[in-house]
């Protein structure tokens, strides 16, 4: 028997101060429409970009309140009458703005990916894993026998970028900020781990990689981005995945010669990849990630810090933005 109401987290006002934006509301339990399923969320994924969503940046024409949380894994508890390929009890993964920070959600059945189980590890393969897979293979045109640099390498998406680049037969450099994260990266097979609080990234790249880096999976921004651009190899590709260092502040204004001075002489390029624009590719990449994971070829690290229920969502987002987390941060419902 389902409860009559459930709770979710909404942005009651648009600001990148997630705590300030977030409010918990209690709403009636919906019936799924004919083509929908009703899902009981078990885990929601926490993402750096939650603060951009709470600021309204992803939904320029929307007005608050806006449902928060971009992904969840859970169990189907009811299905609409036209739904034939999912049934009550199935585990599903959802990846869309508003689907995450809530105890229950209705979603069109075709937008939910069936998965073997509703665990945090499986959840991490969805948004974070698919971003790494598509970012490297599609946007980055990843090859083998190249040097690949992954920034925020011990994070939710970075951990998958490291492993996928290794699986393809590349030499992988990963950056992080603590010895504990460095240990995780070594265990994931990262060839050269750089704790940027102890070693200078630019110096390491110039001295140890004089021919430059062929492919960069860059999600930090500011100085990390600049250093990566400066150290691209001939025909090197840098994929912008994010710029977390600028999400909670006003953009840093830089005045220096335009990028073409740095790129053309090396035939190097800068590309960017934003997962919603590659939505159609997600099922194929997710299936491949799931295969790697179930066969033990791919690890999925989940941060051990426990966040429970809608009450602790804002703490979980603040924790991710503190820079301390390792692997995927999740909230349990
Ligand atoms: N393009 C897309 O569709 C897409 C999809 C998913 C994620 N992303 C992007 O990928 C990046 C990582 O996201 P995530 O959700 O997986 O987070 P995450 O990597 O799990 O956590 C963020 C990590 O970034 C590093 N960091 C560096 N400077 C930081 C700062 N000033 N404040 C906080 N953290 C800082 C920290 O690790 P160390 O400092 O130890 O390295 C921190 O642990 C973000 O830029 C995000 O927007 C993009």
- Residue in 130, 124, 118, 97 with CA at minimum distance from that of residue 39: 118
Mean per-residue pLDDT of the chain: 98
Nearest ligand 1 atom, CA 325: 43
Q: Where in the chain is the domain with CATH 3.40.50.720?
A: 141-272
1 CA distance to ligand 1 centroid (A)?
40
Counting atoms of ligand 1 from 1, which one is nearest the CA of 135? 1
CB 100 within 8 A of CB 126: no
Using the mean position of ligand 1's atoms as its centre, give its distance from the Cα of residue 47 in Å: 8
CA distance 9 to 303: 22
Pocket (CB within 6 angstroms of ligand 1): 47-49, 127-128, 131, 152, 154-158, 175-177, 181, 219-220, 241-245, 273-275, 320-321, 323, 325
What size, in residues, is the chain?
A: 333
* Domain spanning 5-125+289-332, CATH class: alpha beta
Which atom belonging to ligand 1 lies closest to the Cα atom of 152?
Answer: 41
**Cα of 307 from ligand 1 centre, angstroms:** 19
Q: Ligand 1 centroid vs 324 CA: distance in angstroms? A: 11
Give the residue from 100, 97, 89, 98 showing the smallest Cα distance to 37: 89
Side-chain half-sphere exposure of 45, counting CA atoms within 13 A: 32
Report whether 79 contacts 86 (CB < 8 A).
Answer: yes
Residues facing residue 43 across a β-bridge: 73, 332
Separation of CA 27 and ligand 1 centre (Å): 32
pLDDT at residue 71 in the model: 98
Atom of ligand 1 nearest to the CA of 157: 16
Residue whose CA lies nearest to ligand 1 atom number 35: 323
CATH number, domain 141-272: 3.40.50.720
Mutate to test the pocket of ligand 1, among 96, 219, 272 (most ligand atoms within 8 A of CB): 219
Dihedral in degrees, nearest 10, Cα atoms 272, 277, 283, 286: 30
What is the predicted pLDDT for the residue at 60?
A: 87
Q: How far is the CA of 228 from the centre of ligand 1 (A)?
A: 16
The ranges of the chain annotated as CATH 3.90.180.10 are 5-125+289-332
Residue 24, beta-bridge partner list:
9
Which two tokens mark 127? 């948004």
Cα separation, 46 vs 318, in Å, equals 10
The two tokens of residue 244 are 């977390």
CA distance 57 to 220: 18
Cα–ligand 1 centroid distance for 152 (angstroms): 6
Q: Which stretches of the chain drop beneath a pLDDT of 50?
A: none
Q: Which of 11, 16, 41 is nearest to 104 (CA)?
A: 41
Burial class (CB in 10 A: 0-12, 13-18, 19+), 276: exposed
Q: What is the pLDDT of residues 115-160, one digit of tens each?
A: 999 999 999 999 999 999 999 999 999 999 999 999 999 999 999 9
Q: Which residue lies with its CA nearest to atom 5 of ligand 1?
A: 131
| Token representation of residue 44 | 């929601």
Please list, in sequence order, all residues whose beta carbon lies within 8 angstroms of the beta carbon of residue 256, skipping any fewer than 6 positions away.
none
CA–centroid distance, residue 323 to ligand 1 (Å)? 8
């Amino acid at each position: 028997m389902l409860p009559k109401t459930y709770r979710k987290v909404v942005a009651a006002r648009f600001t990148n101060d997630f705590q300030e934006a977030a409010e918990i509301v209690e709403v009636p339990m919906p019936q799924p429409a004919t083509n929908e399923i009703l899902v009981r969320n078990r885990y929601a994924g926490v993402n750096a970009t939650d603060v951009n969503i709470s600021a309204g940046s992803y939904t320029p024409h929307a007005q608050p309140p806006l449902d928060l949380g971009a992904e969840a894994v859970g169990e189907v508890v009811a299905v609409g009458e036209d739904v034939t390929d999912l049934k009550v009890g199935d585990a599903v993964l959802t990846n869309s703005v508003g689907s995450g920070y809530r105890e229950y959600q209705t979603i069109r059945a075709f937008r939910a990916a069936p998965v073997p189980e509703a665990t945090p590890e499986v959840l991490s393969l969805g948004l974070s894993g698919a971003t790494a897979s598509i970012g490297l293979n599609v946007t980055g045109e990843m090859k083998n026998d190249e040097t690949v640099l992954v920034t925020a390498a011990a994070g939710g998406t970075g951990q998958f970028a490291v492993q996928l680049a290794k699986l393809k037969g590349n030499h992988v450099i990963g950056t992080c900020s603590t010895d504990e994260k460095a240990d995780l990266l070594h265990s994931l097979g990262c060839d050269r781990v750089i704790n940027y609080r102890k070693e200078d990234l630019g110096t390491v790249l110039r001295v140890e990689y004089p021919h430059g880096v062929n492919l960069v999976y860059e999600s930090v921004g500011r100085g990390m981005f600049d250093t990566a651009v400066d150290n691209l190899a001939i025909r090197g590709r840098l994929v912008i995945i994010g710029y977390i260092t600028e999400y909670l502040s006003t953009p840093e204004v830089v005045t220096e010669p335009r990028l073409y001075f740095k790129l053309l002489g090396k035939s190097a390029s800068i590309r960017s990849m934003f997962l919603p624009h590659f939505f159609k590719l997600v099922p194929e990449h997710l299936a491949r990630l799931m295969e790697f994971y179930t066969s033990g070829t791919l690890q999925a690290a989940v941060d051990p810090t426990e966040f429970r229920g809608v009450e602790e969502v804002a703490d979980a987002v603040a924790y991710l933005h503190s820079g301390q987390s390792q692997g995927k941060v999740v909230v349990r419902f």
